[in-house]
Amino acid sequence: MSSQGQFGFAEMREWEHAAIEDVKVAEVVFNLPLERPYTYSIPEPLRDLIKPGQRVKAPLGRSNRIVVGYCVAIRPGESGQKRLKPIEELLDSEPLLNGQMLELTRWIGERYLCGWGQVLDSVIPAGVRKKSGTREVQNFILVPGTEEKLTSARLSRQQKMVIEVLQKSTGPVTATDLCERAGCSPGPLKSLQERGLIKAMRIRSEISGDDLLPVQQQADLKLNVQQQQALDRILQPIRASEHETLLLHGVTGSGKTEVYIRAIREVVSYGRQAIVLVPEISLTPQTIRRFRSRFSTVAVLHSHMTDAERHWQWQQISSGEIQVVVGARSAVFAPTPNLGLIVIDEEHEPSFKQDSTPRYHAREVARKRCLDERVPLILGSATPTLESWIRATRKLDVLVSMPSRVEDRPLPPVVVVDTRSDPRISKGSAIGRALYGAIDRALKDKGQVILFLNLRGYSPTVWCRSCGAGIKCPNCDITLTWHRDRQCVVCHSCDYEITPPKACPTCQSPAVRYLGTGTQKLDEEVQNTFPNATVIRMDSDSMQKPGSHDEALEKFRKGEVQILLGTQMIAKGLDFPNVTLVGVIDADTMLRQPDLRAAERTFQLIAQVAGRTGRGERGGRVLVQTTSPNDPAVKFASKHDFIGFAQHELAERYDTQAPPFSSVARVIFRGPDEMRTRQTAQAVADRLRSARRDATEVVRVLGAAPAPITRLRGLWRFHLQIAAKTPELVKELWQSAEQSLSLPDDVEFAIDVDPINAR
């Protein structure tokens, strides 16, 4: 056994062909789109060590290449069973997942039509697989006897500074600290090393737990009657140790977070743990501080953590020392040994659906985990998904309503502005006459303004006036976006960029025009129109520097900024009492998407961004600019009428038997050759229709057809859709056809069960 906890067995070949009667065998899965586990014999030295949940190395396929897999079960061997290949190596001294989590990952593979091993590879963070609990820090010291060599050595000014820093230091100095104190790059350190004047020492340093240290603790807030009633209903299954899914439908500003915190406090008082999922976009220091100020130990899991940080947090959570885990989608897999509650805030957010294999939805995974572990699940939103809403109205889940804001503050009035005949808009401005007047009044009254536009860049369309063609990315079927600050046109899908074209690539005309308004152009217009106001833009282009998001919000909170504009990252989770005006620049950018959920998302975004105002004593108002003032999504959002919108939209979906009245799987085919990809997609569709004739239940197969974005990152894309009443029927049809599928080597496919992205 090595010091790293790994076990090698090259010396144990005498067990390779041993009979396996009366001994146990291991079931192993790999990171492959395979459903069934492979069975391996267990060499004698491993029989008392191997457990389900550990990683192993084992030979795979006819070539017997050694591949890392996951042991998912140990069972007795069968008499007369053919000779099995042996496991080569055991990589973990202890299981990475317990039995409940193994069962959950198996369910995900079945539910979302992917391999069990693919799920395990996604669920277990890379830092945990690498055991990145420690990191190596490079430290420098002077080589003994260096003082004598320095008298004759010719050194540059920076090299001399490095030597002086080390001479004054009482011990080793880290490379980062040494460069900073000497005012140099790593170059002088390397040259001094090569000359034998200094040497590096690698010291292994444990990852600190500073991120788990609590901030100053705050007392609980006083609940109003509405909050107390909601909390009382939520506490019933918590105290009974039973599973229930509760949909907490509360308008923006109704105090849902305080209800979550009080429910979590009850769970923690029993010595149990809670998981809180929030959209990645809402995982700000502000959110984290809010939980840390109320609980003594809070772990945070998000996509920007290093492997070492994630592994350290994972260890703390699995030890049971953490009370609350706050994180984005993948935190649903946090290894809490004493789970008592899962909360999903803003449950309507699309980011809870993973867009790569395994394409799971965190809401459904949380529902399954809570059911298996007999703990409650809280889904919170002012604008729930229609899937969650219909379950609550059918009494499959419990509806808990909070229809009023804290302190009975009124919801802000929403004014829908028809911009089709607006004189300012017709002259190319993004800010119409009504919105201009409202911003001017708000600023004169010392109020703050939020402007929402869900298009980044300067101009979202590059267009040829002569031939009428949009200038598209050569790799994608997407029009390029003009980014004035970078002086280039960019594809927002594959990051292709070029200098602005002087002539149309189709007709060679110089009549190239930049159309539309993105956040960069809006920023410029606002600063020119209101020169005395301080403006800050928040989008993925301007918020790339670590900490810039929180820094911008802090300036806005302190009143140093009067106008905040940006994309959907400003549409939710912000609570600024001095915001007296919210302007939606163009509601049509969301409404006209080729997507089943376009109306639903339009309603959600308008309602959410409207909720950013009217939170203080000064009140507030909302102006929504649109060329479709009579669209139901816009009209219902202007009345803050979620129930009315849900009834209207569900009736539309029922007529076409669209989700949530059916279960859907979308199969996307990708390949470099357009014709071969099209033919492959059509052949699979025909095979599915042939298999469907044998089905006793109605299953629909739509397509094959070009995907909305027909070419993406250099690959042609075609898709088909399988729809049925239940996920089981979709799964049965796909599996019946999958066995006989034969795809060309250069065509790949991906299955998206319950898709929410139609591109």
Is 657 part of a structural domain of the chain?
A: no
Are 264 and 342 in contact by the 8 Å Cβ rule? The answer is no
Whether residue 561 has pLDDT greater than 90: yes
Pair 368, 453 in one domain: no
Are 41 and 87 in contact by the 8 Å Cβ rule? The answer is yes
Residue 611's pLDDT is 83
Confidence label for 624 from pLDDT (cuts 50, 70 and 90) = very high
The residue with tokens 């357009």 is 674
Give the pLDDT confidence of 262-286 residue by residue, as tens digits.
999 999 999 999 999 998 877 777 7
How far apart are the C-alpha atoms of 331 and 385, rounded to whole Å? 21
Give the pLDDT confidence of 591-616 residue by residue, as tens digits.
888 788 999 999 998 998 888 887 77
Are 404 and 251 in contact by the 8 Å Cβ rule? The answer is yes
Are 162 and 192 in contact by the 8 Å Cβ rule? The answer is yes
Confidence label for 12 from pLDDT (cuts 50, 70 and 90) = very low
Are 496 and 711 in contact by the 8 Å Cβ rule? The answer is no
Q: Can you name the residues that pair with 58 across neighbouring β-strands? A: 67
Least confident of 43-47, 142-146, 552-556: 142-146
Q: Backbone phi, then psi, for 465, in 5-degree steps?
A: -70, -25
Closest Cα partner for 112 from 729, 757, 759, 727? 727
Whether residue 329 has pLDDT greater than 80: yes
Is 99 part of a structural domain of the chain?
A: yes
The CA-based angle 174-177-179, given to 5 degrees, is 105
The residue with tokens 């009217």 is 614
Residue 694's pLDDT is 62
Closest Cα partner for 281 from 330, 333, 349, 332? 349
Pair 623, 718 in one domain: no
Structure tokens at 241: 């140790």
The CA-based angle 184-187-189, given to 5 degrees, is 80
Summary mean pLDDT of the chain: 88
Structure tokens at 14: 């005498």
How far is the CA of 386 from the CAs of 12, 277, 383, 541, 618, in angstroms?
Answer: 58, 19, 9, 32, 33
Is 92 part of a structural domain of the chain?
A: yes
* pLDDT cut 70: percent of the chain above it: 92
CATH of the domain at 601: 3.40.50.300
Whether residue 242 has pLDDT greater than 90: yes
Pair 423, 527 in one domain: yes
Residue 696's pLDDT is 54
Residue 21's pLDDT is 45
* Inter-helix orientation angle 727-738/674-692, to 10°: 110
Helical (H) or strand (E) element with 609: helix 598-610
Give the pLDDT confidence of 14-53 residue by residue, as tens digits.
444 444 445 789 999 999 987 789 999 999 889 889 999 9
Cα 444 to chain centroid distance, Å, stands at: 40
Q: Between the ranges 121-135, 280-294, 502-516, where is the mean pLDDT highest?
A: 502-516
CATH of the domain at 749: 3.30.70.600
Q: What's the whole-model pTM score?
A: 0.84
Whether residue 342 has pLDDT greater than 70: yes
How far apart are the C-alpha atoms of 357 and 111, rounded to whole Å? 12
CATH of the domain at 19: 3.40.1440.60
Q: Which of 156, 177, 206 is the last residue of a domain?
A: 206
Please state, as a whole number, how many other Cβ atoms lie within 10 Å of the Cβ of residue 627: 16
Whether residue 10 has pLDDT greater than 70: no
Give the pLDDT confidence of 421-474 residue by residue, as tens digits.
999 999 999 999 999 999 999 999 999 999 999 899 999 989 888 888 888 898
Range of the domain at 373: 214-408
The residue with tokens 């061997």 is 77
Average pLDDT over residues 563-577: 81
Pair 198, 153 in one domain: yes
How far apart are the C-alpha atoms of 567 and 125, rounded to whole Å? 30
Is 472 part of a structural domain of the chain?
A: no
Are 730 and 699 in contact by the 8 Å Cβ rule? The answer is yes
Q: Can you name the residues that pair with 74 across neighbouring β-strands? A: 26
Are 32 and 118 in contact by the 8 Å Cβ rule? The answer is yes
How far apart are the C-alpha atoms of 665 and 35, rounded to whole Å? 17
How far apart are the C-alpha atoms of 249 and 399, rounded to whole Å? 7
Pair 227, 85 in one domain: no
Is 118 part of a structural domain of the chain?
A: yes
Are 594 and 758 in contact by the 8 Å Cβ rule? The answer is yes
How far apart are the C-alpha atoms of 712 and 335, rounded to whole Å? 37
Pair 184, 224 in one domain: no
Classified as helix, coil or strand, 728 is helix
Q: Which of 185, 206, 227 is the last residue of a domain?
A: 206
How far apart are the C-alpha atoms of 233 and 255, rounded to whole Å? 16
Is 156 part of a structural domain of the chain?
A: yes
Classified as helix, coil or strand, 621 is strand
How far apart are the C-alpha atoms of 756 and 435, rounded to whole Å? 33
Pair 620, 744 in one domain: no
Whether residue 8 has pLDDT greater than 70: no
Q: Which residues contact 564 (CB under 8 A, 6 or more apart)?
A: 448, 449, 450, 451, 535, 536, 538, 552, 556, 570
Is 503 part of a structural domain of the chain?
A: no
How far is the CA of 467 from the CAs of 506, 509, 513, 616, in angstroms?
Answer: 8, 8, 12, 52
Q: Can you name the residues that pair with 55 across neighbouring β-strands? A: 70
Pair 54, 154 in one domain: no
Pair 295, 332 in one domain: yes
CATH of the domain at 195: 1.10.10.10
The residue with tokens 């140790």 is 241
Cα 88 to chain centroid distance, Å, stands at: 36
Position with higher pLDDT, 558 vs 236: 236
Is 504 part of a structural domain of the chain?
A: no
How far apart are the C-alpha atoms of 279 and 381, rounded to whole Å? 12
Q: Can you name the residues that pair with 722 across neighbouring β-strands? A: 665, 701
Are 76 and 24 in contact by the 8 Å Cβ rule? The answer is yes
Q: Which of 77, 103, 129 is the last residue of a domain?
A: 129
What region, left, alpha or beta, does residue 725 occupy, with left being phi > 0 and alpha being psi -120 to 50 degrees?
Answer: alpha
Sheet holding 24-30, edge to edge: 38-41, 24-30, 65-76, 55-60, 89-90
| Number of domains within the chain | 5
Q: Which residues contact 242 (CB under 8 A, 6 or more apart)?
A: 374, 376
Residue 53's pLDDT is 95
How far apart are the C-alpha atoms of 638 and 159, rounded to whole Å? 67
Average pLDDT over residues 582-593: 88
Q: SS3 string of 373-404? A: HCCCEEEEECCCCHHHHHHHHCCCCEEEEECC
Position with higher pLDDT, 402 vs 158: 402
Confidence label for 378 from pLDDT (cuts 50, 70 and 90) = very high
* Inter-helix orientation angle 548-557/285-292, to 10°: 80
How far apart are the C-alpha atoms of 235 and 272, rounded to whole Å? 14
How far apart are the C-alpha atoms of 290 and 282, rounded to whole Å? 12
Classified as helix, coil or strand, 335 is coil
Helical (H) or strand (E) element with 198: strand 198-206
Pair 343, 228 in one domain: yes
The residue with tokens 């040829």 is 464
- Bridge-based pairing of strands 273-277 and 324-327 is parallel
Pair 81, 14 in one domain: yes
How far apart are the C-alpha atoms of 612 and 534, rounded to whole Å? 19
How far apart are the C-alpha atoms of 743 and 408, rounded to whole Å? 61
Pair 74, 159 in one domain: no
How far apart are the C-alpha atoms of 587 and 454, rounded to whole Å? 9
Closest Cα partner for 582 from 478, 490, 447? 447
Q: Which residues contact 196 (CB under 8 A, 6 or more apart)?
A: 143, 149
Q: Which residues contact 96 (CB under 8 A, 6 or more apart)?
A: 53, 54, 55, 124, 128, 129
The residue with tokens 């799920």 is 119
Q: How many residues does the chain have?
A: 759
- Report DSSP letters for 21-89, one per residue: TTSEEEEEEESSS--SPEEEE--GGGTTT--TT-EEEEEETTTTEEEEEEEEEEEE--TTPPPPPBP-E
Whether residue 205 has pLDDT greater than 50: no
Are 518 and 540 in contact by the 8 Å Cβ rule? The answer is no
